Amino acid sequence: MTYRIRYSYSTGNSFGVHDEESVLELTWENKNAARRALADIKEHYEYYRALHQTYPRLTKKEREVIEIAARSKSWFIDGYLSEYSLIIKSDSGRDFQFSAPWCGFFERLYECQIIDDDPRDSFSMRR
């Protein structure tokens, strides 16, 4: 069986927002590798939110602490793109850089799941 990851998020601009849903381009034959990718997406989004969804704004030192912790993660990309992109591993362990469309000023990730109807293989960011 081949596994894919579906995600839903909101996006928009100053005039309005709307919901989007899509599927990652990458596929996996190994379900555990797909689960690892799902966990990496969640960790990256939590990193993104820690940097951008905090009020009051982070101090330089607080931001630095968050970034240092993220550097040890397999999904981390060094540089400006680290906030908006991540590395996702294939079955073979090969790295693929993926731009996260749910990371942006108007964007918010709702849900991410492995397409196979197993509720253990999903997470929701809805509150």
Domain boundaries, the chain: 5-124
Q: Band of the pLDDT at 124, cuts 50, 70, 90? A: confident
pLDDT, averaged across the chain: 90
- Provide, rounded to the nearest whole percent, the portion of the chain with pLDDT above 90: 76
Q: Are 103 and 11 contacting, i.e. CB atoms less than 8 angstroms apart?
A: no
Sign of the torsion angle spanned by Cα atoms 93, 78, 73, 52? negative
Q: Band of the pLDDT at 118, cuts 50, 70, 90? A: low
CA pair distance 65, 63, nearest whole angstrom: 5
- The pLDDT value recorded for residue 119 is 64
- The pLDDT value recorded for residue 80 is 77
Task: Find the mean pLDDT for residues 17-35.
Answer: 94
- pLDDT tens digits along 39-70: 999 999 999 999 987 678 899 999 999 999 99
- The pLDDT value recorded for residue 95 is 95
CA end-to-end distance (rounded Å), the chain: 32
Among the residue ranges 30-39, 97-106, 115-124, the one predicted with the least confidence is 115-124
- CA distances from residue 71 to 39, 74, 100 in whole angstroms, order as listed: 16, 8, 18
CA pair distance 127, 125, nearest whole angstrom: 6
- The pLDDT value recorded for residue 112 is 94
Residue type, 115: I
Backbone angles phi, psi at 19, to 5 degrees: -90, 145
